[in-house]
Homo-oligomer: A and B are copies of this chain.
Amino acid sequence: MQRFALIGAGFIGSLHARNLFRHPGVSLEVIADIDADKAVSLAKQYQTRPASIDEVFASDVDAVLIASSTATHAEYVERAANAGKAIYCEKPIDLSTQRAEQAVAAVREAKVPFMIGFNRRFDESHAALKEAMMAGEIGRVELVQMTCRSQATPPMEYIKTSGGQMHDQAIHFFDLLCWLTNDEPVEIHVFGGALSDQKIGQLGDVDTSIITLRMASGALAQIDCTRRTGYGYDERIELFGSEGMAESRRQPSRHLSVYRGKHERRDGLDDDWLARIETSFSNGLNAFVRGLEGEDVSYPNVTSALRAQSIADAAARSLQIGERVAIAGQIT
């Protein structure tokens, strides 16, 4: 039984609370939040006790799940590492790569298990894609195509502190790209614009972008990101290789077809990203727990976190200067 503390009782924290509560191998010992009332309420719902942030690090839990606001992640990571706790941290460690590197140094120093919340790796269809690639079914990867389209533009308040579309949204796909291909990008070019909402442009951000990358192997990759669709949450990945192509397809919300007149009407995509990737959260938690229990499990770690962030930095720079940008050497 792994004893967990949860920091953060907001939207994502609540999602993690439910998964921790339901996990047969986890005991959710304590929930903390800067807003004590939120902690009390969530703790009650999941039959555990609320606590202060300080109490978490002083407690005897085995692991800390950090789901608080982004600005607090680096500090909590360092405190958890110093306290010898295993860490599951929502992305990113920090919007500043330099600050993130400091926190990573503490984790490495403490040699504690660390997972960054790139949970899409645990989506069953994406995982099947990687299995097909690893089994050699498509030969050598030559081209990657990724679609990442959120259902609705977040509030401007969120956009302002999100780090921008590259660091907030595309970053998950930078991690997927490296993981799916066992490769890393060396060059990047981004076209972007504020097409859905001019206010996003006034903030210096974009809501629609096409990112292209050249990988170290010579393979090429493409990611298209939008902040809102008229048709739910849209995520899709293709790996094209020398011998075939594998696709993690769009997924319908249900499997109803209605034929009338000249058309077939199907259920469309999930309403939002949560519905689409909800199980990847519990799958990811499960991988982390199995690792704590001694299994040889792979999950996104500090290196994954820094690597994806460095790609996002380069993407943001390409947007800014309007040119192709080289990506610094391998993160280790």
Interface residues of A (CB under 8 A from B): 22, 24, 45, 124-125, 128-129, 132, 137-139, 142-143, 145, 147, 149, 187, 189, 191-193, 195-196, 208-210, 212-214, 218-222, 224, 226, 229-232, 234, 240-269, 271, 322-324
Q: How far is the CA of A103 from the CA of B269 in the complex (A)?
A: 45
Task: Report if A222-B224 is in contact (Cβ < 8 Å); known contacts: A229-B240, A263-B266, A268-B263.
Answer: yes
Q: How far is the CA of A33 from the CA of B139 in the complex (A)?
A: 43
The answer to whether B241 and A259 touch across the interface, beta carbons within 8 angstroms, is no
Would you give the shortest CB distance from A178 to chain B, in whole angstroms?
17
The answer to whether A128 and B218 touch across the interface, beta carbons within 8 angstroms, is no
Give me 4 other A-B pairs in contact (C-beta within 8 A), A143-B226, A212-B212, A248-B256 excluded.
A226-B240, A229-B240, A259-B269, A263-B265
A-B contact pairs, 8 of them (CB 8 A): A125-B254, A142-B208, A143-B226, A187-B191, A245-B259, A246-B257, A246-B258, A264-B266
The answer to whether B142 and A226 touch across the interface, beta carbons within 8 angstroms, is yes
Nearest chain B residue, comparing its CB with the CB of A269: B259
The answer to whether B218 and A244 touch across the interface, beta carbons within 8 angstroms, is no
Most chain B CB within 10 A, of A213, A243, A245, A267, is at A245
Q: How far is the CA of A257 from the CA of B220 in the complex (A)?
A: 21
Total copies of the chain: 4
In the bound complex, residues from chain B placing their C-beta under 8 Å from that of A265 are 263-266
In the bound complex, residues from chain B placing their C-beta under 8 Å from that of A213 are 191
Q: How far is the CA of A219 from the CA of B137 in the complex (A)?
A: 36
A256 touches which one: B128, B192, B230 (CB < 8 A)? B128
Task: Report if A196-B242 is in contact (Cβ < 8 Å); known contacts: A264-B252, A323-B324, A324-B322.
Answer: yes
Would you give the shortest CB distance from A284 to chain B, in whole angstroms?
17
The answer to whether B220 and A244 touch across the interface, beta carbons within 8 angstroms, is no
Task: Report if A230-B214 is in contact (Cβ < 8 Å); known contacts: A132-B256, A264-B268.
Answer: no
Would you give the shortest CB distance from A268 to chain B, in whole angstroms?
5
Would you give the shortest CB distance from A217 to chain B, in whole angstroms?
9
Q: How far is the CA of A138 from the CA of B230 in the complex (A)?
A: 8
The answer to whether A247 and B256 touch across the interface, beta carbons within 8 angstroms, is yes
The answer to whether B139 and A230 touch across the interface, beta carbons within 8 angstroms, is yes
Nearest chain B residue, comparing its CB with the CB of A124: B254
Would you give the shortest CB distance from A83 to chain B, in whole angstroms?
29
Q: How far is the CA of A125 from the CA of B142 in the complex (A)?
A: 28
Q: How far is the CA of A251 from the CA of B264 in the complex (A)?
A: 11
Closest 7 CB pairs of A and B: A244-B260, A231-B259, A230-B243, A128-B256, A230-B244, A125-B255, A249-B255
